[in-house]
Amino acid sequence: MEHKHIYDEEGNQLCCTAQEGKIFKDAGAKKLLNNDSCCSTENNKSETHSDDDGHDHNDGEKNTFQMFLPAIVSLVILLIGIVLDNFFPQEWFKGWVRIVWYAVAYLPVGLPVLKEAYESIAKGDVFSEFFLMGIATIGAFAIGEYPEGVAVMLFYSVGEVFQTLAVSRAKNNIKALLDQRPDEVTILEGNQSKTIPAKQAKIGDIVQLKSGEKLALDGELVSESASFNTAALTGESKPDTKNKGESVLAGMINLQTIAQVKVTTAYEDSKLSKILELVQNATAQKAPTELFIRKFARIYTPIVVGLAILICLLPYLFVENYVFRDWLYRALVFLVISCPCALVISIPLGYFGGIGAASKNGILFKGSNFLDIIANIKNVVMDKTGTMTEGVFKVQEVTLKSEFNKDEILKMVNALESKSTHPVATAIHQYVGEIDHSIQLENTEEIAGHGLKASINGKDLLVGNFKLMDKFNIKYDLDPKQIVYTIIAIAYDGKFAGYITIADSIKADAQLSIDKLKALGVKTTMLSGDKSTVVQFVADQLGITNAFGDLLPEDKVNKVKEIKSHNETVAFVGDGVNDAPVVALSDVGIAMGGLGSDATIETADVVIQDDKPSKIPMAINIGKQTRKIVWQNIFLAFAVKAIVLVLGAGGLATMWEAVFADVGVALLAILNAVRIQRMKF
């Protein structure tokens, strides 16, 4: 099929370079390169099957020894040739015998590169890295520099193997972290258990999970309780105890007795499947630095070839004692140095490392571009409930008028709140206890933004905020603004009966996260629809700079617009669903509660899986470290190449210096790129 490049709206080429595509293919990581790339199997019909489609073919992958074998053979033959040339000269090792000897040394490492060069040219990509190395080494043979021609190709091939291993490691780190779905499950049919492929399990099936076994599908716990290791989803190995009726997710490991789980989601729709797909697709969203380097490599390489031709031929017009062989050698050295390997491999590898390091800590980036953006964030705007607080409300105080029977009123309130799914209703139910089903509710109505209304024994019961009391002209003798906690007002038979105060506890690591954000020079703002006094109280405890309560979604949008009007970058942290307009407006949308909502995973740019606010500064720090490593590699590659290019053009550098400028710098850049996976954040 004819090769077609893919470009973004701004004209940036999204295709991989020829060498990048080969390395990622050899590493079994084509999916990590770019699912929509012109180098993908979709556009290369000669590849009928991908080794990176979610399962492994161990028998089809080369081991490390097999990858190095051609280089080892080539090195042995080359060393023998150098010894016969310089240390133990032999009469027979001359003429065509010597040429054939070095040609044999060249073939194991040179033939695959020449083949790739031919295939790249056939696809329309003439100025590939393979083409540069091919003409440089063939040129070296043409002028009789056989050992140097073999050595350049040998070290180039060794460098390519190291690059392949580095990419393979990055790919395996991500897959080992997330692709932990068992292939089979044990389901119960009557009193009999049978093992079936996980993909065949249906919604409603009861899965039996032994101690130490991993859950393959999302479901609901049928057993009374069970303890799970959630490391595959959150990065935390701390046991999480679930009770009957609670959700359990694919990837969780049962830690104790046999547990039974009712399947609620199809295999391909499980949270773990979505997370795995998210991370594998993350690298399709390219960072501007990556796009620039790819575009640069496409322009830079043909320019370098043109300069090499000029270095070879132009001196004929100006140099008195022009020797073609000498200037051709300089041109070939120039070509070897110019190969942009260090840039086109180490930079995407740096971003893969950043995405892998974040995933290891329970933070999912939807693209390497968000690693770049989050590194520049100046403002973090956060929701309160479920972000900085637990989102689990508890009744603090019940204050009722003396003329009302406390137990009767609470039972009626509990019965009415059972019609709501709001966290407040859960808090009241936990405080009061079982619902009294003898209470007959009539004309039950939920009034948006106010509360609930129903008729009991012919009398109206109102439960909600004080706006509800005002709406029905209920007189009360207190100032709600003087009470810090969230207030649930109650009225019965047209009279104010009293109120219940409810509070949400601050997360254990919330204070640490605010302190770390301040240390990074990031400003903090809290926006919430909750009562202003509650929001200000939480903000004061945590040391958050600005806090605003009683906000509607459009109010939050206006507050974020106000911050952005000062030309400052904003990250919004919330649930990613109710706050969708603010997430869309912010530079980076960060979702807390990746385990709670599919919509959260789909709408946010970054997902924090374990709800810990301390992961917010960690995500920013990972972005900063990734950017730092990428730019270190860019400066290293350009600086060394620029120096050796000048020396090569002036005849002061040999092929050996050229090899260091190409392969040596590439290896140094790769070692620097993989460093991020070992960092502690």
- Using CA atoms, how far residue 180 sits from 83, 276, 492, in Å, is 52, 9, 55
Pair 580, 600: CB distance under 8 Å: no
Q: Shortest CA distance to 464 belongs to which of 514, 433, 503, 425?
A: 425
Q: State the amino acid at position 111 in one-letter form.
A: L
Residues 6+ apart with CB under 8 A from 480: 466, 487, 489, 531
What is the 8-class DSSP label of residue 2?
-
How open is the CA angle 87-88-90, to the nearest 5 degrees? 135
Longest Cα separation, the chain = 120
Residues 6+ apart with CB under 8 A from 11: none
Active site residue 383: yes
Q: Rounded to an integer, what distance in angstroms lies between the CA atom of residue 88 and that of residue 82?
A: 9
Q: Residues 638, 640, 642, 644: is their CA dihedral positive or negative?
A: negative
Q: Indicate the burial class of 638 (C-beta count within 10 angstroms; 0-12, 13-18, 19 or more).
A: middle
Task: Strand 239-243: give its sheet, edge to edge.
Answer: 239-243, 225-229, 253-254
Pair 122, 1: CB distance under 8 Å: no
Q: State the amino acid at position 293 in one-letter form.
A: I
Pair 468, 487: CB distance under 8 Å: no
Q: Rounded to an integer, what distance in angstroms lies between the CA atom of residue 607 and that of residue 366?
A: 8
In the set 383, 504, 579, 611, the catalytic residue is 383
Q: State the amino acid at position 576 in one-letter form.
A: G
Q: Rounded to an integer, what distance in angstroms lies between the CA atom of residue 59 and that of residue 37?
A: 27
CB burial string 546-584: b at 16+ within 10 A, e below: ebbbebeeeebbebbeebeeeeebbbbbbbbbbbbebbe
Per-position DSSP letters for 589-607, written without gaps between them: EEEE-TTT-HHHHHH-SEE
Pair 392, 505: CB distance under 8 Å: yes
User: φ and ψ at 206, to 5 degrees?
Assistant: -100, 115
Residues 6+ apart with CB under 8 A from 108: 70, 71, 73, 74
Beta pairing partners, 590: 573, 606
Q: Rounded to an integer, what distance in angstroms lies between the CA atom of residue 632 and that of residue 131?
A: 27
Q: Residues 367, 369, 370, 371: is their CA dihedral positive or negative?
A: positive
Q: Rounded to an integer, what distance in angstroms lies between the CA atom of residue 484 and that of residue 501?
A: 9
Beta pairing partners, 506: 389
How many beta carbons lie within 10 A of that of residue 358, not counting itself? 29
Pair 645, 337: CB distance under 8 Å: yes
Active site residues: 383
